[in-house]
Structure 1
C-alpha cells in the first residue's frame, strides 16, 4: 500500500487530537503529506422577509471559518514536526464533508477519531467515523478515544 496523502479529520476534541497525533506519526513513517480537514456544520439560517440571510447567520459563519482556521493551525503546530500540511475547511455535514474533501484532495488514507459513544445516543446520532468508513473510496483508520492511544 502506497501512502502519500493522509487526510486527518479534526474538531475541537481530545479524540481528534489523538487522531491527529496518530495521522502525523503515520505520515512521518511514510514520508506522506497531510491535509487537516475541519467541517463547519451549517447553522439554521434565519431568513428575512426579503429572502436574504440574516446578518446573524453571516456573522456566525465568518466566526466559524476563522475559528476553524485557528484550530487547524493549532493542530499543525502541535503535531506536524515539519510535515507538509494543507488546510481544508468547508461548510457541510461532517461525514459528507470529510468524504468529499478526501476525494477532491486525493487521499490515500483518512484518519479520524471516534468518541466511542454507545447505546441510545449512538443509535440516534449514528457515528461520523462509521459513515466515513462505509462510504470512503480509500482506507479509513478510526482511532478510538481510549487512554494512552
Structure 2
C-alpha cells in the first residue's frame, strides 16, 4: 500500500503551492485534498443578537467542492491522474482540529500544507493552522510557503 498524502486547500496561493508540491513529489500515491468550512461561516451577529444564513454556509461548501474540481484540473495538467489516486473532501469544523481528525480517521501518512507566513501580532491574533497541525500531528507534516 502506498503513501496517503493530505493537502488542505483554502484557495490561497500557499495552499495551491502545497498541492503542486504534493503532485510533484507523490506521483503514484494517493493524494486527498481537504477544504475545511468554518462552522461560523454564515453566522452574523450584532449587539442585539444574531442570525444564521444557511445559504452562506452552502456557498462555502460549494466553494470547497470547486477547489476539488480545480485540483483535479491541475493534476490532469501535470499528467498524474493515470498513476495517482486523487480524492477530495469538504468538512465543517475548526480547521486545525478537522485536519488532524481527518488525517487520523482516513489513514493519512503525510500532510502537506501551505503557510501564510504571518509573524508577530498577526500570528498571535489569527493563530497558525499550519503550526497547530505541525505540533499536534503524529505523522510528518511538510509546510510549503
Q: Please classify the TM superposition score into its range, dividing by the shorter chain length.
A: 0.7 to 0.9
Whether the aligned pair in 2 keeps the contact of 1:113 and 1:129 (CA below 8 Å) is yes
Aligned residues: 135
Whether the aligned pair in 1 keeps the contact of 2:9 and 2:15 (CA below 8 Å) is yes
**3-state DSSP of counterpart to 1:66:** helix
Matches within 5 A, 1:70-149: 70-79=66-75, 81-82=80-81, 83-144=84-145
Whether the aligned pair in 1 keeps the contact of 2:4 and 2:32 (CA below 8 Å) is yes
Structure 2 residues without counterparts, runs of 5 or longer: 46-50
CA distance in 1 between counterparts of 2:5 and 2:131 reads: 18
Whether the aligned pair in 2 keeps the contact of 1:114 and 1:143 (CA below 8 Å) is yes
> How far apart are residue 57 of structure 1 and its match?
2.0
CA distance in 2 between counterparts of 1:79 and 1:23 reads: 10
Alignment partner, residue 34 of structure 2: 37
Whether the aligned pair in 1 keeps the contact of 2:5 and 2:22 (CA below 8 Å) is yes
TM-score with structure 2 setting the length: 0.84
Which string of whole-angstrom CA distances, capped at 9 and with x for unpartnered residues, describes residues 83-131 of structure 1? 2111111111111111111111111100000011111101222211010
Structure 1 residues without counterparts, runs of 5 or longer: 48-53, 145-149
CA distance in 1 between counterparts of 2:97 and 2:5 reads: 17
Which string of whole-angstrom CA distances, capped at 9 and with x for unpartnered residues, describes residues 64-93 of structure 1? 111110111102211353021111111111
**3-state DSSP of counterpart to 2:117:** coil
Alignment partner, residue 14 of structure 2: 15
Q: How much is the aligned-residue C-alpha RMSD, in angstroms?
A: 2.1
